[in-house]
Amino acid sequence: MHQAKGKSPRGRAAVIGLTKAQVVAAAIKQIDEKGLPSFSLRELARSLNVSPAVIYWHVGGGKEDLFAEISASITSELSHELDPSQNWKERLRAVFLRYRQLVHIHPNVSPLLGAQMKSNGVANLDWVETVLSALVDAGYEGEALKDAFNALIGGLAGFVTMELATAPTETQDEWEDLFARRVAGIDPKLYPITHSVLPTVTNRIFVLRWQNGVRIPYDSSFELLLDLLIEGLDMRARKTT
């Protein structure tokens, strides 16, 4: 486990043939299996049979730098299959549907794509360029471009992060049973509308749920939000041209 005597982290990595892509893949595997809160750089290093210094050398720093690389490994795939001949609305629709699809493959990684500042930096430039280019084609520029970009990313990436939010891991079964009973016991006199729609919304909307989007996906809700944002951006662009 210890770094070979006389070799730098770079030399040690070269000797064993380890690449940054392999480090990132191993980190995603650990997060998939154990969850983000349980992620450990030392355990990652052990799984790769290297010292933590080798991990640091590959990702340029500590855990946050590795998280940024994990984020980039997912978002870098978003523009690979886009058809450049499509109009801006079709490109935006394709890239955000693909984004959600990719995050659902690794749901435990979702907090890194929305809630971690360092994970949302320059490592994600492919995604940034794709979205900005679509918005420029729609006619957005200056302050309006900035606001449109933030609305899209905040709304859609935030949706997926919230959809895949993790439940308490300790005593999860007890927590789910308790939550389900509380929802079923909502007082119709105090909350008449909520009570009347419980058959439709129970465990299927944000807030009144005890299972996340891994077990009950929010496909139609995500597509509605995507439609609303793209249609709204289209209408707003038409008014300013």
In terms of pLDDT, which residue wins out, 62 or 54? 54
Structure tokens at 69: 């690389």
In whole angstroms, give the CA distance from residue 30 to residue 24: 10
Token pair 């995604």 is found at: 127
The answer, yes or no, to whether residue 11 has pLDDT greater than 80, is no
- Cβ 164 vs Cβ 104: under 8 Å: yes
In whole angstroms, give the CA distance from residue 187 to residue 176: 19
Domain ranges of the chain: 9-61, 76-166+219-239, 167-211
The answer, yes or no, to whether residue 7 has pLDDT greater than 60, is no
The model's pLDDT over 26-35, given as tens digits with 9 standing for 90+, comes to 999 999 999 8
Give the domain 76-166+219-239 fold. Tetracycline Repressor; domain 2 (1.10.357)
CA atoms within a 13 Å half-sphere pointing along the CA-CB vector of 191:
9
- What string of H, E and C letters represents the secondary structure of the chain? CCCCCCCCHHHHHHHHCCCHHHHHHHHHHHHHHHCHHHCCHHHHHHHHCCCHHHHHHHHCCCHHHHHHHHHHHHHCCCCCCCCCCCCHHHHHHHHHHHHHHHHHHCHHHHHHHCCCHHHHCHHHHHHHHHHHHHHHHHCCCHHHHHHHHHHHHHHHHHHHHHHCCCCCCCCHHHHHHHHHHHHHCCCCCCCHHHHHCHHHHCCCCCCCCCCCCCCCCCHHHHHHHHHHHHHHHHHHHHHCC
User: Residue 1: its pLDDT value, please?
Assistant: 43
Neighbours of 71 (CB within 10 A): 23
User: Residue 4: its pLDDT value, please?
Assistant: 43
The model's pLDDT over 199-228, given as tens digits with 9 standing for 90+, comes to 999 999 999 999 999 999 999 999 999 999
CATH of domain 9-61: 1.10.10.60
Looking at every residue in the chain, the average pLDDT score rounds to: 86
pTM: 0.84
Task: Give the burial string for 79-106 (b: 16+ CB within 10 Å, else e).
Answer: beebeeeeebbebbbbbbbbbbebbbeb
Q: Per-residue confidence at 170, pLDDT binned at 50, 70, 90? A: low
The model's pLDDT over 68-122, given as tens digits with 9 standing for 90+, comes to 888 888 888 777 777 888 999 999 999 999 999 999 999 999 888 865 544 555 5
